Chains A and B, each alone.
Chain A
Amino acid sequence: MSRSPHAAPTAQGGPTLRRGGTGSRLTGLLLLAAVVVALPLLFPKNYFVTVVGVAVGFHAILAVALNLLIGYAGQISLGHAAFFGLGAYTSAILTTRYDWSPLLAMLAGLAGVLVVASLISRPILRLKGHYLAMATLGFGIIVHIVMVQAVVLTGGPDGLSGVPGLSLLGWGLKTDLHWYWVVAGVVLAVVWLSLNIVDSRTGRALRAVHGSEFAAEMMGIDTTRTKAQVFVLSALISAFAGSLFAHQQGFVSPDSFSFFVSIELVTMVVLGGMASTYGAVFGAVALTLLKAGLVVFHDYEMVILGAILMIVMIFLPQGLFVGLARGLRLALPRRRERPATSGDRIA
């Protein structure tokens, strides 16, 4: 936090990136960890913590993964629920029908998604904008149709029940609270990975692709490969979340992985603020809580949700988290910018 205002540029490499350097980046993560740990300790029996909290966690993992693709690399995907579903169904099918151990099934799910995502990434990412959106949408729908139609394997619209729980090193995950800790741990890990990637050579390459593919190529970035890499990574994280989800729920059905889920995930990314890892987490929290809270309005739930989203997008188009953070920064005394001109002389 005590970054000196680039008095000696060459010595330190100067201070840093948009949202602060290593110090402030990890501060955010620690803050998030503190909240995540404090909640169940303060409210161990609260439904919103142990049940909705787990749902929030899954959404956060998915949103952070999707944000790497949409927010940073600028490549839209309207079919990400498919990867979530592929992970979940692989785990469910292999454990219930073939008696595989959950961990092996999970690895198989990851391997399967690695293959599928790698195969489709190159041709699909050749497309841009609306065309890419349509192609990913199509992929999501195809996967969903297979889930519904391949009854022998997937159980069709009814899904598969009796998916065994998980146990880690002999510890069975039995209660909601157990699952809360596991999912929270994964959320923090994924946030950490995402922050690391964004603030690295690869992350800059991703953002460069977003900024100008033309210039990115000329700076020596293999844009095709870079896009494919982040697509596959994003798919793998989603598949991992899917496997966990199957074991946590004990049940999978096509509804959890439909087109609407993909759209919800995109909404979370946009709602929180594109190209912000914390924004994606924030978007996941906000949308999931909102939906859980709006349940009391029954039939009007979607209407109210839609209205809120419209209002946010009109007044805070850069997203809730990013917009509010920027507003806060503007409201605070501007200390950061000054030394940029005077620092050299003073030091």
Chain B
Amino acid sequence: MTGLLEVAGLAKSFGGVAALADVHFRVPGGVVYAVIGPNGAGKTTLFNTLCGFYAPDEGSVHFQGERLTGLAPHVVAARGISRTFQNLQVFFNMTVLENVMVGCHLRSRTGLAAAALRLPSVRREERQVREWAWEALAFCGLDHLHDRPASALPYGVLKRVEVARALASRPKLLLMDEPAAGLNDTETGEMRGLIRRICDSGVAVLLVEHNMELVMQVSDRVLVLEYGSVLAEGTPAQIQSDRRVIDAYLGGKVQYAVD
């Protein structure tokens, strides 16, 4: 079976430091697929490369059988990949609803000229976009906050605003970069439920996360990166009992000597 996302031989280095080296993995459709590893293992570099923010030095990324390598981020997004960010990238100059409406950009067509003249087709599309945004908000349990300026909301809520915004583009694969970072236990629980519901709705999730409890509970498969290379791959149970992973990351006698 071919995966939804296939990554082969991916390599990226910055000034001689290899952030990614020969990374292979395959994300099947309909799963939550987690990428874990110590800080500096290359997880965020991997995300940025998948999205087209970095061009890989070597290797390829295929999504639904089509090559993504070398495409600009907005083109990658148009192919059906969306993401959330480790450091919030919320549009703080907009309301929650408007943030999510931006997420509908790819599903709507109106150009500058039609918008300027407010043609009837524009009004129709605006109504439609608003509805889509409401659906995404409701899905993430944010509809009661729709008219709040994003700048006035707490961190935990903004994390979910990013998820709603990404979902509004109706992706086939959602990349989530540390969705639970900075969340308290209640919020983390909510986020876990949300990730599961996203997956159940047919959107595959590629997850980078440091909260191991969350990762092990929510993921179908786990990839472990260390120093930019794949250390192990398997089901949460396999990963948890993998000697190398325990030594390198999950906590055994070895601790990070540097950093």
Contacts and interface: CB of A to CB of B under 8 A. Distances in A.
Interface residues on B, range: 35 or more
A216 B115 CA distance: 19
Given A200-B115, A219-B105, A220-B105, A9 B73 contact: no
B89 A14 contact: no
Contact of B115 (A6, A15, A197, A219): A197
A205 interface: yes
A227 to B, nearest CB: 12
A67 to B, nearest CB: 14
Interface residues of A, number: 42
Interface in A7-22: 9-10, 13-18
Contacts of B102: 204-205, 207-208, 216, 219, 221
B225 interface: no
A202 interface: yes
Contact of B91 (A10, A208, A220): A208
B116 A193 contact: yes
Contacts of A204: 94, 98, 101-102, 105
A219 B147 contact: no
A235 to B, nearest CB: 14
Interface stretch (B7-15, B56-64, B123-131, B190-198): B123-131
A10 B145 CA distance: 15
A223 B74 CA distance: 8
A276 to B, nearest CB: 11
Interface string B67-99: 000001110011000110100011111110110
Contacts of B187: none
A284 B78 CA distance: 40
A13 B104 CA distance: 14
A200 B122 contact: yes
B74 A221 contact: yes
Contacts of A6: 146
B111 interface: yes
Interface in B152-183: 162, 165-166, 169
Contacts of A230: 112
B112 A229 contact: yes
A193, A217, A219, A223: residue with the most chain B Cβ atoms closer than 10 Å:
A219
Nearest to A195: B118
A222 interface: yes
A203 interface: yes
A218 B134 contact: no
Given A202-B111, A218-B82, A17 B98 contact: yes
Nearest to B150: A211
A325 to B, nearest CB: 14
Contacts of A14: 97, 130, 134, 143, 146
B116 A13 contact: no
B171 to A, nearest CB: 10
Contacts, number: 145
Contacts of B133: 13
Contacts of A340: 144-148
Contact of A211 (B93, B112, B126): B93
A210 B111 CA distance: 19
B134 A207 contact: no
A304 to B, nearest CB: 33
Contact of A212 (B83, B91, B111, B169): B91
A341 B169 contact: no
Contact of A217 (B73, B138, B162): B73
Given A193-B116, A207-B98, A9 B143 contact: yes
Nearest to B168: A219
B51 interface: yes
Contacts of A275: 93
Contacts of B146: 6, 9, 14, 340
A69 to B, nearest CB: 13
A233 interface: yes
Given A214-B85, A217-B74, A201 B105 contact: yes
Nearest to A212: B89
A147 B51 CA distance: 47
B117 interface: yes
A200 B108 CA distance: 11
A161 interface: no
B110 A220 contact: no
A158 interface: no
A294 B104 CA distance: 49
Contacts of B149: 18
Contact of A219 (B53, B82, B122, B129): B82
Interface string A1-40: 0000010011001111110000000000000000000000
Given A197-B115, A201-B108, A217-B74, A13 B127 contact: yes
Contacts of B111: 202
11 contacts: A6-B146, A13-B127, A13-B129, A201-B108, A201-B126, A205-B105, A212-B89, A214-B53, A219-B103, A221-B102, A275-B93
Interface of B: 51, 53, 72-74, 77-78, 82-83, 85, 89-95, 97-98, 101-103, 105-106, 108-112, 115-118, 122, 125-127, 129-131, 133-135, 138, 143-149, 162, 165-166, 169
Given A16-B97, A196-B122, 4 more contacts: A207-B93, A207-B98, A215-B90, A219-B103
